[in-house]
Homo-oligomer: A and B are copies of this chain.
Amino acid sequence: MEPRILDNTLAKVREALERDDVTLAVDILQAMRAPDQAEVFSELDDRAQIALLPQLDPAESADLLAELDDLEAAEIVAELPTEAVIRIVNEMEPDEAADLIGDLSPTQAETVLAGLEDPEEIHPLLIHPDETAGGLMTSGFLALRRMMTAEEAINALRAWNPDTRIQYLFVVDAEGRLCGVLSLRQLVVAPPHKRLAEIMETEVISVSAQADQEEVARLMQRYDLLALPVVDAEQRLLGVVTIDDVVDVLVDEATEDAQRMGGAQPLDRNYLEASVWNVTRKRIGWLLLLFVTESLTGTVLRHFEDELSAAVALSFFVPLLIGTGGNAGSQTTSTIIRALAVGDITLKDGLRSLWHELRVGLLLGLGMAVVAYLRAETWGSTPALSLTVAAAIFTIVVWANGLGSFLPLLATALRIDPTVVSGPVMSTLVDATGLFIYFTLARVIMGL
């Protein structure tokens, strides 16, 4: 829905609540789709949320909670009476129920689990870390036996919970091991008495429960899958990851990467809902660390104090040189980090990438050196100073490009997220080393 329409709806819900007309507020909410409900709902204050939620149809509450941020949902549920929570969780998809229960306090989680209709559907999902295939999968899937006929399979389908969307039908053997896949369409158009073993495709792409969610996203994107089966070490089918969860993973990972590449720890919630204090905490660590590293620039400058006093004009170019170095480095790291993320390059392409960037650096450095020389001349610098500036910018750009491609690759080799060596980190590293290059060249060329 358009933001404007949502704002109007929010105003109407608030008005209804002010007049204590909870029924009207509930009706307005229930007329919307779950994502819109969640957006309006999360703008209400805590008291209104806690009053409204148990009044909604439990299935609607379940959908709404599943759409909220994990932490927000857990905070609201913590305030609700246990039997209301149980009623709602009973209506949730197993993977969403497991996510919610995982965020509750241990006592509340235990009471809720104990009261559920199908706790055994959720139990196995609770043991997998959130960011793995096991944490993403749902156990609410239909596994068909390979000896079933097409007709029997369609009947099994008719008898099954009609709420769940079916992308593929997975076929297992008597031990529950994944042995085939077929689409609903293949099933529908097959002769009714054919066995699934004869219709199904036997080459199934699957993933282990421990696989990282980025690996899951990569596989599903690469092979255009709508659902990916998750198996244990014996190939037994444990669950299914669906594409809508992977779309959310892709968006969340891009957000985290953007924040890390900006030099901040990722926020764990919606921006405007994160408190000022929370945002500050996520940033101050990196800012301090970068400050300490950046302090090296002061050390370098103090080391070259005599040169600086002899030629104050040297200092005019300091921000320009280190700024350009930082920019060239940022360009490189952001390209390399992204190429690593989408799998355009892997570690084995390391030397090739480094060589690629060094050549780009040589070209960029040459171009920038010419421009910097002309700029220095127009500021009336001595020929020696202009030459120093040009030589320094060339060396710094090549150095920044080399460092900018080497560090993300090194981080990946050390199994560190390469986004930690992005923009701000690069600029900071290039600043101190760039100054050292500049003043050393000044000593040699200008004979200081």
A residues contacting the other copy or chain, number (CB 8 A): 112
Asked whether A19 is an interface residue with its Cβ less than 8 Å from the other chain, the reply is no
- What are 6 A-B residue pairs whose CB atoms fall within 8 Å in the complex? A167-B167, A255-B341, A271-B336, A280-B367, A319-B431, A322-B323
Tell whether A193 is near chain B: CB-to-CB under 8 Å.
no
Asked if B312 and A305 make an inter-chain contact with CB atoms under 8 angstroms apart, the answer reads yes
Looking at the assembled complex, report how far the CB atom of A187 sits from the nearest CB atom of chain B, in whole angstroms: 8
Q: B338 near A255 (CB under 8 angstroms)?
A: yes
In the complex this chain forms, how many copies of it are found?
2
Residue among A271, A319, A342, A360 facing the most chain B CB atoms (10 A cut-off): A319
List B contacts of A165 (CB < 8 A). 183, 185, 226
Known pairs A221-B247, A264-B334, A360-B279; A271 contacts B344 (CB<8 A): yes
Contacts of A222 in B (CB 8 A): 35
Stretch at the interface among A106-114, A118-126, A368-376: A368-376
- Contact among B185, B294, B338, B422 for A184, CB-based, below 8 A: B185
- A262-B335 in contact (CB<8A): yes
Q: A258-B258, A258-B338, A312-B308 are in contact. Are A423 and B294 (CB under 8 A)?
A: no
A318: CB under 8 A from chain B? yes
A154 proximity list for chain B (CB < 8 A): 188
State the main secondary structure of chain A at its contact with B.
helix
CB <8 Å contact, B184 and A162: no
Given contacts A183-B165, A276-B363, contact A423 B330 (CB under 8 A): yes
State whether A287 touches B335 (Cβ < 8 A): no
Q: List chain A positions with a Cβ less than 8 A from chain B.
A: 3, 33, 35, 154, 157-158, 162, 165-167, 183-185, 188-189, 220-224, 226, 243-244, 246-248, 250-251, 254-255, 257-259, 261-264, 267, 270-272, 276-277, 279-280, 283-284, 286-288, 290-291, 294-295, 297-298, 301-302, 305, 308-309, 312, 315-320, 322-324, 326-328, 330-339, 341-342, 344-346, 348-349, 352-353, 356, 359-360, 363-364, 367-368, 371-372, 375, 379, 422-424, 427-428, 431-432, 435
